[in-house]
Structure 1
Amino acid sequence: MKRIEVLEILADLTDHHPVVVTCAATSRELASVKDGDNHFYLLDAMGLVGSVATGIALDRSATATKVVGIEGDGSLLMNPNVLPTGGFLRPNLLLVVIDNEVYGSTAGLPTYSSRVNLAGLADAAGWKVGTATEETSIRSEFARLASIPGPTFLHIPIEAGNATGIAKLLVDPVNITNRFGAWLRQSNEASA
């Protein structure tokens, strides 16, 4: 399965969730599939999806809507401390790790995920974990993990490679922040 195919499924599943998205190819591909006000693209901030999503989830602790972080294996490996932090703080967060075993935006250099069990790390840190490899299991594992309070982790192994013909994501980061903040405020008011 390709990353853009996974992102198409996730875009369909996350309309009502705040979504924090890792930088580079993943952000560009998700924006090309479906650019939503509920998407917070972390441009040039590799490794910070778990940190930002944890902060948002802790702030939204009164709501039942889980925050979703869409992360890559290379980015998670740049900041793996989000796993024990999440296990300790217990944010209402679903961290989706799309694992292609390479840094997709830097010429496909290999990550350590072929030899480091990312789902095992999350489990050891206290996260509820699931793995999915095709559309039906992605949908069912997402639904299961989204219904469990606290930190949950969905590992999706995929093939390496970026989608072709995807435009650069040239939206001003201030505009991304403002529209995401407005969406969060409206979402919080609606759930109050």
Structure 2
Amino acid sequence: MERIKALEQITKQLKDELVICNIGFPSRELYHVKDSSKHFYMMGSMGMASSIGLGLAIAQDRKVIVFDGDGSLLMNLGSLVTIYNQSPENLVLVVLDNECYGSTGNQCTYSSTTNLKKVAEGVGFKNTVFYQESPEVEIDFAPVLEMEGPVFVHVKVKAGNASVPVIPLEPPEIKERFMREVQGN
């Protein structure tokens, strides 16, 4: 399954959740399949989506979904330990694993030899889910949304980026729109 298809399938099942999306192409793809003021599209800070999502989950009660990549997660592996120890019940970390740094030139990561779900379980995550890369598999995200967090979701996807345009919003617009949503304005 392509990453954009995974994003499309998961976001069709979201309602009021706040979403933090990893930098570059994942954010562009999410914007393309379902733009929302509930989505925070990261334009920089590789490796920080999980940390930003953690802070947001701690600061308010709405469910927070973080779309991260394997490369970004590996760059900030300490965030898993912090998420587990803070244990926000409203956080779901979704790692879209294409075994490469898709936004910086498709350099290989080590996720092909590292089982990220087992890493999360080793840290202490009780609720983990794995979706194998397959074009015919439909992601049923409803059970994940019912789980008490923090939840770690590992989704294997094909390498490559969808051909989608750049997000037509400036970073301050993205931030202000998202802040209004979080504050309920």
TM-score, reference length from structure 2: 0.92
Paired AA for residue 28 in structure 1: R
Corresponding position: 1:59 with 2:59:
yes
**Matches for 1:105-116 after TM superposition, within 5 Å:** 105-116=103-114
Superposition deviation, residue 184 in structure 1: 1.1
1:125 corresponds to = 123
* Shift, 1:136, TM fit: 5.5
Per the TM alignment, residue 16 of structure 1 is displaced from its structure 2 partner at its CA by 1.0
Distance in 2, Cα, partners of 1:78 & 1:118: 13
Name the SS for the 2:114 alignment partner.
Answer: coil
Structure 2 unmatched runs, 5+: none
Structure 1 SS opposite 2:73: helix
Partners of 1:148 and 1:7 lie apart in 2 by 19
- Between Structure 1 and Structure 2, how many residues are aligned? 181
Question: What's the counterpart of residue 143 of structure 1?
Answer: 142
Preserved CA contact (<8 Å) 2:131 2:139: yes
State the one-letter code of the partner of 2:124: G
Given residue 83 of structure 2, which amino acid in structure 1 is its aligned partner? Answer: G
Letter of the 2:63 counterpart: K
What fraction of aligned residue pairs are identical, expressed as a percent? 39
Contact 2:130–2:153, Cα closer than 8 Å, also in 1: yes
Deviation of 1:116 after TM superposition, in Å, equals: 1.2
Q: Structure 1 32/76 Cα, relative in aligned 2: closer, same or farther at 3 Å?
A: same
Per-residue deviation at 1:152?
0.2
Pair 1:163-2:155 in alignment: no
Task: Report how far residue 137 of structure 1 moved.
Answer: 5.4
SS in 1 for 2:12: helix
SS in 1 for 2:71: helix
Does 2:72 correspond to 1:75?
yes
Output the TM-score relative to the length of structure 1.
Answer: 0.89
How big is each residue's C-alpha offset from its partner over 1:113-137, in whole Å with a ceiling of 9 and x where there is no partner? 0011111111112221001135765
CA offset digits 1:73-120 (Å, max 9, x no partner)? 011111011111111000121000000001112221100100111111
Q: Which structure 1 residue ranges, 5 or more long, are not aligned? A: 188-192
What is the CA-CA distance between 1:173 and the residue it aligns to? 1.1
